[in-house]
Amino acid sequence: MAQLSDDCFAFGGPMMSVDEAVGIITSRVEAVKETENLALDEADGRVLAGDIAAPLPLPPFTNSAVDGFAVNASDLPRDRADAFPVTGRAPAGAMAPAATRGHAVRIFTGAPMPEGTDTVFMQEDVRIDDAGRVVCPAGLKPGANVRRAGEDIPKGHIALKAGQRLRPQDVALAAAFGLTKLKVVRRLRVAVFSTGDELAPPGSARTAAQLFDSNRFMLIAMLKRLSCEVSDLGILRDARAPLADALKGVAASHDLILTTGGVSTGEEDHVKAGVESIGTLVLWRMAIKPGRPVAMGIIGGTPFVGLPGNPVASFVTFVHVVRPTVLALSGAVATPLIPMPVRAAFGYKKKSGRREYVRVTLRSARDGALEAIKFPREGAGLLSSLVDTDGLVELPETITRVDPGDSIGFLSYASLI
Ligand code: AMP
Ligand code: MG
């Protein structure tokens, strides 16, 4: 387990910007050390533990990029078409014999270039004459339609770096190198609780004053997309001692403890007192909307994050606090979220000094531009506002308004986890 110091999340100021929060997490949270060797088909989404240098060039040998006829560049017709006798056949997967000068070799995509050839005419550009010769046009460049050994990746090049969250194309690259296993950081073990007497687990009898716990399932799904191994520990009641006991009981066996609800400063919010009785805790008041204070703690060396209970605040603070924490713990290179410019189809007023996230749907306007349409209501408790939209528009701290037609930055939900 990672062992973080008790003051890991300490912070001086009254308010914290999103960038400060991410900066503290990225610079102070240490990655777990244990790794495992995984077969390629299990590696997607996992964090690579070491650099991979290309053990061979890609492509490994010089080959034809098209189906056609291979010739020697010094025989290329210059001013008018010329006919070549066709000698030999080079299918993919076999080494063809060396070519005869002045002749063409029938060649197929991916076949190694026969010795003595270096240029390929596409079959669409030639014809076969009555004598069975291939008639090739003038003007082809020497080396055309050939993929040179190493032109994609030279041997020895660091093609995949430690900390990379492996994507399907990264796994493909490892396969192209002939590797069968990849050394990755082990999965993080994350314990997830919901807190609140008003919550009933789906499937149970719900009293008239209760709602079904939904955040826990959202957070678990988000953590799984980040390749975590999740312990679903159900619902904690609003009472300090049992809450403290439950959190203490899971600290040693997990890399991260995550709760939702109960972190405001009301008298029914017991998470703060509960964590303080067994570890350390600071409330991060982040300049972000939607978002409420996020509780950041350390329990026996294990980081603790207490997210707000309102579903939208929970989602947004997950993205800005839990995601970077998970990435830092798993040794992943912190990848900044890159908003894509879209056109606002709405007007909006906001507070200066605070970063705000607006839930939007995208549509193509008549002129082809992508437009963002704001979800009509703003409450942080509206689950429908996350379900019925495509992503979040990120409005920076510096601006105070958005006018229809402004360029604004859009983050799709898929890009956020
Ligand atoms: P809290 O952060 O505990 O003050 O909760 C704020 C609001 O979020 C309250 O209306 C709660 O009922 C709601 N809430 C808290 N936890 C959950 C949860 N796990 N699922 C759905 N709603 C929740
Ligand atoms: Mg509560």
Q: What is the CA radius of gyration of the chain?
A: 30
Least Cα distance to 69 among 45, 37, 104 occurs for 104
CA of 308 to the centre of ligand 2 (A): 9
Å from CA of 261 to ligand 2 middle: 5
Query: Cα(102)–Cα(87) distance, rounded to whole angstroms?
Result: 10
Cβ atoms of residues 104 and 71 within 8 Å: yes
Assess contact for 103 and 87: CB atoms under 8 A.
yes
Does residue 316 sit in helix, strand or coil?
helix
- pTM, 2 dp: 0.93
With tokens 């839930």, the residue in question is 359
Q: List for the chain the helix, strand, coil content (%; round to 5).
A: 20, 30, 50
Q: How far is ligand 1, taken at its centre, from the CA of residue 382, in Å?
A: 11
For residue 59, whether the previous peptide bond is cis, meaning omega lies within 30 degrees of 0, is: yes
On the CB side of 225, CA atoms within 13 Å amount to 14
Cα 380 from Cα 226, distance rounded (Å): 24
| Rounded Cα–Cα distance for residues 14 and 312 (Å) | 23
Neighbours of ion ligand 2 (CB under 5 A): 196, 261-262
> Which helix (H) or strand (E) is 372 found in, with range?
strand 370-374
pLDDT of residue 334: 83
End-to-end CA separation in angstroms for the chain: 23
Can you give the pLDDT at residue 335? Answer: 83
Contact 294, 362 (CB under 8 A): no
Q: What is the pLDDT of residue 267?
A: 82
Which one, of 86, 138, 88, lies nearest residue 113 by Cα?
Answer: 88
pLDDT digits (tens, 9 = 90+) for 157-193: 999 999 999 999 999 999 999 999 999 999 999 999 9
Count of CB atoms within 10 A of residue 294's CB? Answer: 26
Spatial contact of 194 and 213, defined as CB atoms under 8 Å apart: yes
Strands 370-374 and 355-364: antiparallel
Alpha carbons 75 and 84: distance in angstroms, whole number: 9
Work out whether the CA dihedral 279, 10, 30, 40 comes out positive or negative. positive
- In this prediction, the residues of the chain whose per-residue pLDDT falls under 70 are none
Ligand number with the minimum distance to the CA of 219: 1
| pLDDT score, position 242 | 95
Identify the bridge partners of residue 194 per DSSP, sorted by sequence position: 235, 260
pLDDT digits (tens, 9 = 90+) for 186-241: 999 999 999 999 999 999 999 999 999 999 999 999 999 999 999 999 999 999 99
Mapped onto helix, strand or coil, the DSSP state of residue 172 is: helix
Residues 59 and 258: their CA atoms lie apart, in Å, by 46
pLDDT for the residue numbered 336: 86
SS3 99: coil
287 alpha carbon to ligand 2 midpoint, in Å?
21
Mutate which of 199, 219, 263, 270 to test ligand 1's pocket (most atoms within 8 Å of Cβ)? Answer: 199
Tell how far the Cα of 214 is from the centroid of ligand 1, in angstroms: 9
Residues within 6 Å of ligand 1 by CB: 194, 196, 198-199, 213-216, 260-262, 264, 308-311, 381
Whether the CB-CB separation of 395 and 356 falls below 8 Å is answered with yes
